Amino acid sequence: MSFVHQDVWHWQIAAYLFLGGLGGATFAIGAMMHLFEGCDRKVLSIAILSAVGFMGIGTIFLLADMLQPMKAIYALTNPSSWIFWGVIFINVYFIAAIVYVIPLLESWPKLKPIIKKIPEPILGLMEKFNRAAALGGATSGFLVAIYTGLLISAAPAISFWNTPALPLLFVISAFSTGAAFLLLLSTFSKEEKSHEIASKLEQLDAGLIVTELIILGAYFNFAFFLPTGARESAAILFDTPMFVIGFLVMGLIIPLMIETYSIFFAKKSHGSAKLLLTASVLVLTGGFLLRYYVLHAGLYQYPW
């Protein structure tokens, strides 16, 4: 029995998994806040455009890692492959995002003349289906986030990945990074309502980090008790300072402490905005590190 590092998916795929999850979750949380709470349309339009940008850059990373990216359309052939579903989710996401964001951009006076160039019937349809697009984009964003975990869990010989915990971990982590990104955006907003939204986001993110810690605990407990490559992978991760300090401590525990402090003790001020900014950046960095090191720790268990 030998354990061998997978050597085909590197940082580019980690970036794709991170940006796909971030883009999907940012859209989903942003659209939900819009539908249920109502919020600053300008900030929301920046959030949605950023989410689409993350997803776009992530997709570019995926394509750049392929041997034949120009043939990517063939990926819509085999429904038993997770990549097939990933392509569908990402395309639905982009279509829904365009329909959702264009009417939002009318809140920017400088962009209004450009948007008015879109024929009225099309713009009318976009406005009519705005809520449907918000729901469709949020659903496909969620599905993209969970797909990033399902994609790498479909590896029977990589026992650390081949577990139901991984898609859960990735989807919760994606939503945590999405909430952190929106929190980061809200710290730049000068509107009174942004404080209210920021406090909701920090509560959401703190809850998601706690959930992520619980899943991580269960995941590593499971990995350490299996006499397989999963135990080796878990041991590698615990021996990696950038995983333990960079992700676990700096990317989860410290932001959770900052957010807990902010929720219960801080007076809303310029100083607390800086703290939240720090927490958000740490969560985002941690989200990438998690995916990078989980990919790095993927060990095949070969029977020779």
Q: Which residues on neighbouring strands pair with residue 3, listed in sequence order?
A: 301
Q: Which of residues 112-171 bind other proteins (CB under 8 A)?
A: 151-152, 154-158
CA distance 255 to 282: 7
If binding is defined by CB under 8 A, does position 303 make contact with other proteins? yes
If binding is defined by CB under 8 A, does position 265 make contact with other proteins? no
Residue positions counted in the chain = 304
Give the shortest CB-116-to-other proteins separation in angstroms.
Answer: 40
The residue (of 4 and 249) whose beta carbon lies closer to other proteins is: 4
If binding is defined by CB under 8 A, does position 241 make contact with other proteins? no
Give the shortest CB-147-to-other proteins separation in angstroms.
Answer: 12
CA distance 112 to 97: 18
- Phi/psi class of residue 6: alpha, beta or left (left: φ > 0; alpha: ψ in -120 to 50)? beta
Q: Which range binds other proteins by CB under 8 A, 197-205, 236-244, 269-277, 294-302?
A: 294-302
If binding is defined by CB under 8 A, does position 269 make contact with other proteins? no
What torsion do the CA atoms of 23, 26, 30, 31 make, to the nearest 10 degrees?
Answer: 40
Residue spans of alpha helices (H) in the chain: 11-36, 41-65, 82-104, 112-116, 120-128, 130-153, 165-186, 193-225, 229-238, 241, 254-264, 270-296
Phi and psi torsions of 46, nearest 5°: -65, -40
If binding is defined by CB under 8 A, does position 4 make contact with other proteins? yes
Q: Which of residues 44-103 bind other proteins (CB under 8 A)?
A: 62, 65-69, 71-72, 74-78, 80-84, 87
Give the shortest CB-151-to-other proteins separation in angstroms.
Answer: 7
Give CA 280 to chain center in angstroms. Answer: 13
Give the shortest CB-76-to-other proteins separation in angstroms.
Answer: 8
Binding site for other proteins (CB under 8 A): 4, 6, 8-9, 62, 65-69, 71-72, 74-78, 80-84, 87, 151-152, 154-158, 298, 300-304
